[in-house]
Amino acid sequence: MTPEQRAELIIRDKRAVWHPYTQMKTYRSTTEPLVIEHAQGARLFEADGRSIIDGNASWWTCLLGHNHPRLVRALKDQAERLCHTSLAGVTHQPAVEFAEALLRVSPPGLTHAFFSDNGSTAVEAAVKIAIQYWVQQPKPHKDKTHFLSLESAFHGETMGATALGDVSAFRSPFAGLTMPVTHLPSPADDLTRALEALEATLRSDAQRTAALVIEPLIQGAGGMKIYSPEYLKEARRLTEHYGVLFIVDEVFTGYGRTGKFWALDHAGVSADIVCSAKGLSGGMMPFAATLVSDPVFDAFLGERDKAFYYGHTYCGNPLGAAVACEVLKVYEDERVIEGVSVREQMIEDSIRRLSALPSVKQARSLGMCAALNLGSSGDYLSTRGWEVYQRALELGAYLRPLGHVVYLTPALNIPLADLASLLSILERSVGEILADEP
Ligand SMILES: *Cc1c(COP(=O)(O)O)cnc(C)c1O
């Protein structure tokens, strides 16, 4: 693309495209978007000729890097045979094979996969399954319609998922319209207080509560807040004890982000329902799965009206399913999770160096995720992280922040040299921006 063509594309973009999570007034007047022409491995290639290290695996999805040749091949092969059918009264090899393969690697006790097309719908399906599950018990619980989630949670953008979330910028316009949810203290802030609040709430509210919904070990979009596996163990035990479903949203944490295949594996526990998306299709196709246990699945068997009358047009899409099958094979053949430990060590060393800077707060990491706060206060609308973003971009890395939280979530198989560059760009850009502080 010539510089003129690139400039022209940006002008047309600003006339026609409404970008997500973006103040379009500022965008149109001052933002120079990246124009990405192609991508390979951990790198994005800008139309201006630069290559940029993708510090967040393109919204946490391309866990095997961009355009992994085996995934591209799987997609092409499937496209030549069958691109789409409904999954209603119809089945196909990719859907069956992927359901089996995913359930084989899933936390114990999960026996059926319900497919949809993204993380939000994986969670939305889980919410509806939970409500209907209680209504359809032998002794129906019509009033178990309340949900518990965590402060700082993020579970997606559909209305059920919005209700569960607690990021004010995403939630506040709709706060009066969402289903009833109690947001419990986050274990990332104070584990003891979080456990006490969970138990107290379950003790008083279990009668009306359908489910506890959590992001395991890392609360992603709410600020990359990391917490102890102890909370997962206790949450599993307490929800079982008080008769509340345990729904675990592994959309971000699953597929090795935390160094084990599922974040739940750190605690050695399972759940009644697990939601998975993002890395599940390697950043190639919108695809998601809601996994359920036998007791949950069985509650929907019986008369016609007991069915789960819910679906999305593209659920089980053959292209997505074929790629998702190949993703799991690549994890196995290339020993992707095993490769995390050497990278995790590099990330930890970098985080240790960063934590020595006086204005860096709560520098933290787990597996292939590292984060730090710039200063002690801020939220999603803070602009501080964007100064680091700009500087990192000049230095050759894409480090989109969450307000004052600067973080890295690179591909799990990022080449070691690219990871070393990415970490040094992170350290340099944070150091320089903080040094400019008044
Ligand atoms: C991203 C995310 C979602 C929403 O997924 P989409 O594909 O963007 O709809 C849900 N839950 C968690 C934990 C996420 O990180």
The string of pLDDT tens digits covering residues 206-251 is 999 999 999 999 999 999 999 999 999 999 999 999 999 999 999 9
CA distance 337 to 322: 21
Once rounded to an integer, what is the mean pLDDT over residues 134-149?
Answer: 95
Per-residue pLDDT band for 380 (boundaries 50, 70, 90) equals confident
- For residue 411, report the distance from its CA to the centre of ligand 1, in Å: 17
Q: Express each pLDDT in 157-196 by its tens digit.
A: 999 999 999 999 999 999 888 899 999 999 999 999 999 9
Element (H, E) at 181: strand 181-184
CA distance 216 to 250: 7
The answer to whether 272 touches 245, Cβ cutoff 8 Å, is yes
- Most ligand 1 atoms within 8 A of CB, residue of 60, 278, 380, 407 to mutate: 278
- The string of DSSP codes covering 122-135 is HHHHHHHHHHHHHH
Task: Say yes or no to pLDDT of 420 above 90.
Answer: yes
DSSP 215: -
Q: Which two tokens stand for residue 429?
A: 């850009």
The reported pLDDT for the residue numbered 378 is 85
Per-residue pLDDT band for 436 (boundaries 50, 70, 90) equals confident
- Identify the residues whose C-beta falls under 6 Å from ligand 1: 118-120, 123, 154-157, 215, 220-221, 249, 251-252, 277
Task: Say yes or no to pLDDT of 373 above 70.
Answer: yes
Q: Express each pLDDT in 95-115 by its tens digit.
A: 999 999 999 999 999 999 999
Task: Say yes or no to pLDDT of 438 above 70.
Answer: no
Locate the DSSP E strands across 277-396: 288-293, 360-366, 369-374
Residue that is written with structure tokens 């969970």 in the block: 198
Per-residue pLDDT band for 340 (boundaries 50, 70, 90) equals very high
Task: Say yes or no to pLDDT of 81 above 80.
Answer: yes
The answer to whether 329 touches 81, Cβ cutoff 8 Å, is no
- The string of DSSP codes covering 391-419 is HHHHHTEE---BTTEEEE---TT--HHHH
- Average pLDDT of the chain is 97
- Most ligand 1 atoms within 8 A of CB, residue of 127, 251, 290, 312 to mutate: 251
Q: How far apart are the first and last CA of the chain?
A: 41
